[in-house]
Structure 1
Amino acid sequence: MITSTAWQRELTAAFSVLLGGPLESFDPAAEYALYYRNTIDRSMLFELLDDVGQFGRVLSPSADGGRPQALKVCLGLDWGLDLARSEFELCPDDGTAFARALDSLPDTAFLDRHRTTLPGRELARLLPAHGLGPADIVSASEDGTLDVGVTLRVATDGTLRDAMVTATRSAAGPDGLRPGPEEAAVLSTTDVFTFFGDQLSPAAAAERDRLLAPVGDPRLRAHIWSPYLDMPWDRAEDGTVVGTPAVRYRSVADRPGTAVVAAWDLSYFGEISLAVVQTGGSGR
């Protein structure tokens, strides 16, 4: 990570813009998690998993540059995935093997019983006990007997700053904000960082300039505008935005002691989105 004072000062300004308030105003005693949803290809993660036990682990790049195949779904080469604390919503047809497996669980096993949502660590125990694995999830999804929703928890150190650094790909400094050709060849979803938005109305351009005024570095300004803040699909002619990407994470935010502090749609209709979720602490 680049630790120069100037770059860290720029990041503090950028994060405050993205959070809608000063970074230092958020509770440092709370835990902050970065969540990632990608609904473009819901089966890709399961196709890439090497074994069912990976549901219960943190998958990270190794020091020598090796990467578990499942990390191809990430938005940065330095990302890891905390699959054990990621969330999997499984909605099977009645009478299927997945329905029987879920019915065998006590209510306490679920993060959300109504939405049949389980943490990855629970899947790592449940699936092999019923002779099931990632390939069976792919097969059942393809034949229409299982609907799957995935909310991935990206591996971070629990601080708000690390969640924001990871979300914005800013650890390597201004030169690392956008993926280069080699990175794009490894990761499956980097095209969100090549879209620079539609032509803005004068009012929307003025709103952009107002929002980004605290950030001095032009590359960082462009980066946090698109794809994070520029939502042309939700932006009115006067520059205001209707709706909020946070609704995609309401199943997480509805839990006691939990709140979404920021969320961003990185593509049209929210197929790719990120959210920073706070747990515990004394509140903002």
Structure 2
Amino acid sequence: MGALSPAARCRRGISRFLAAARQAEVAVATTTCARGQMASSTWAGTGMSQDDFMQKDECLVVDEQDRLVGTANKYDCHRFNQPGQPAGRLHRAFSVFLFGPDGRLLLQQRAASKVTFPSVWTNTCCSHPLAGQQPPEVDAPEQVADGSVPGVRAAAVRKLEHELGIPAGQVPASSFRFLTRLHYCAADADTHGPASPWGEHEIDYILLAQTEEPVTLAPNADEVDAVRYVTLPELQAMMDPGSGLSWSPWFRILATRFLPAWWADLPAALHSDKHADRATIHRVLG
């Protein structure tokens, strides 16, 4: 039998990976496949455009119970109103709420160059755990149940540095508290109209952290247009319809349904399981 081509080897590797994930409901991925070649096991964002990330980054596609069923690049996951895929592909995401030493929350305004939801204000950092990374960013069910989620934590450290320039040592993986998950679906209608070709359909892992010292901020202009620390009353004033500011749909859900209770009891939210609800996937799909 002749040697398999790189594309054939890659397809065979994906088939074996998915079979193992379905049997054990556990995925520990260190490599992924893109366009017939094996992708690097280490994410690198230097010099890459938004379009590059849409094609390169392999998101974790899941079912409604958050079980891994495969991977797909960000472009495919976020394409709405396509044949057989009206609401993109359901995939894992995370949202970081980073509080400063004085208890103020760090917000960011997404860059105008972002493909999805440009120029909206949102929480500190929002992104996706990816397949094929080191350290691995794919969490097993037991790691979700016990709250350890090392994969999502590693992804959060990676993206805080990439988007905001926060050195990894200032907000290490151990500083995050995983509280709960949110399943939501939202087309980017404000940017592209009611038949938007883009949107988000995610099971979003919510992470809280607080630093003892101010963090170093060097926002990446390709990702972030502005940053701001706010108190809860300041946030509520910013979110008033009369402010004229636009907000990400996931942040609007979290800020109205969950955040005030977490913020009012921040020490307990950060250092105990009082506000943790990891078994529940909150669904806001209307």
Name the structure with the higher strand share. 2
Question: With CA pairs under 8 Å and 6+ residues apart, which has the higher RCO, 1 or 2?
Answer: 1
What TM-score do the two structures reach when normalised by structure 1? 0.25
- Larger-gyration structure (1/2): 1
What TM-score do the two structures reach when normalised by structure 2? 0.25
Name the structure with the higher helix share. 1
